Amino acid sequence: MFAEPIDAERAREAGLINAVVAKEELAAFAMARATFLASKPPGSVQLAKHLLREPLRAELKAVIAREGVHFVERLGSAEAAEAFQAFFTRKR
């Protein structure tokens, strides 16, 4: 909510990334991971990716729909009126 940057270690701890790799090791690390995935049955990998993404898509769609409802409701608030007024009366 604060749009503050986080470092790689914090991103790993939060589950946003799988690993922190030194810049000079990145290409080898990525190739090793890609080689590992390429050794697996393609159909199984595709199915696993689909199964991982589908709940996220459905949840994301639901959240976007709820966000739209809240956004419309907030447009009528005193806070929104104040923000619009401030925007339109700014000197340019």
Q: Taking residues 21-34, what's their average pLDDT?
A: 96
Q: What mean pLDDT value characterizes the chain?
A: 89
Regarding whether 34 and 45 lie in a shared domain, the answer is no
pLDDT score of 54: 83
Domain of 72 in residue numbering reads as: 41-92
Do residues 61 and 31 both lie within one domain? no
pLDDT of residue 70: 92
Identify the pLDDT of residue 55.
80
Q: Are residues 81 and 55 in the same domain?
A: yes
Report the predicted TM-score, pTM, of the whole model to 2 decimal places. 0.51
**14 Cβ contact partners less than 8 Å away, ≥ 6 residues apart:** 6
In the chain, how many domains are there? 2
- 29-49: average pLDDT: 93
Q: Which of 6, 4, 1, 28 is nearest to 17 (CA)?
A: 6
Q: Are 17 and 8 in contact (CB under 8 A)?
A: yes
Cβ pair 11, 4 in contact under 8 A: no
For residues 26 and 54, membership in a common domain is answered with no
